[in-house]
Amino acid sequence: MEQDSRDHARIPGSQEARPLQAARPDARVVKAMNTAAMTTIVNPGMISPSSVFLSGDDEAAKAQAAGLLRDLGWSDGDILDLGGIETARGPEHYVVLFAGLARLLESEAFNIRVIR
C-alpha cells in the first residue's frame, strides 16, 4: 500500500525526506545531520572524529550541502554520501539509538564513526 506523504509523520517506520521529495519533485532535497546533536554538528571538533551522512537525488545539491558541512569543520573523509533520497531512512531512524545512548552517557556530545 502506498503511503500518503501527508500522513507519514503518524506512521511508525515512516521517514521525512522521501515523502518531502515526492511532494515537491522540483525541490532539491538533501538529508544530512541526523546522527548527532546540533552542538556537535556545528562544531565537530568538540569530539573525536566522526561521520556525517548525505542522502539525496540531486548531485549538485549534495555537493552544496557537503560544502556547508566543510564550512562547519567536517573533513571530506568524514562526509559520506549514502546515495539517493531513499537512503535517508537509515539516518532518520538513528534517533531511537541516539536517544538511548544520550540517556546512557548522560550527554549528547557524541556521534558515530564509520571506519573502513
Segment-wise mean pLDDT, segments of 10 residues, the chain, 116 residues: 42 65 84 93 95 96 97 96 94 91 96 94
Burial of 55 (0-12, 13-18, 19+ CB in 10 A): buried
5 to each of 14, 24, 50, 73, 88, how far by Cα in Å?
Answer: 9, 10, 32, 34, 15
- Residue ranges per domain, the chain? 30-105
How confident is the model at residue 14, as a pLDDT?
Answer: 53
How confident is the model at residue 2, as a pLDDT?
Answer: 41
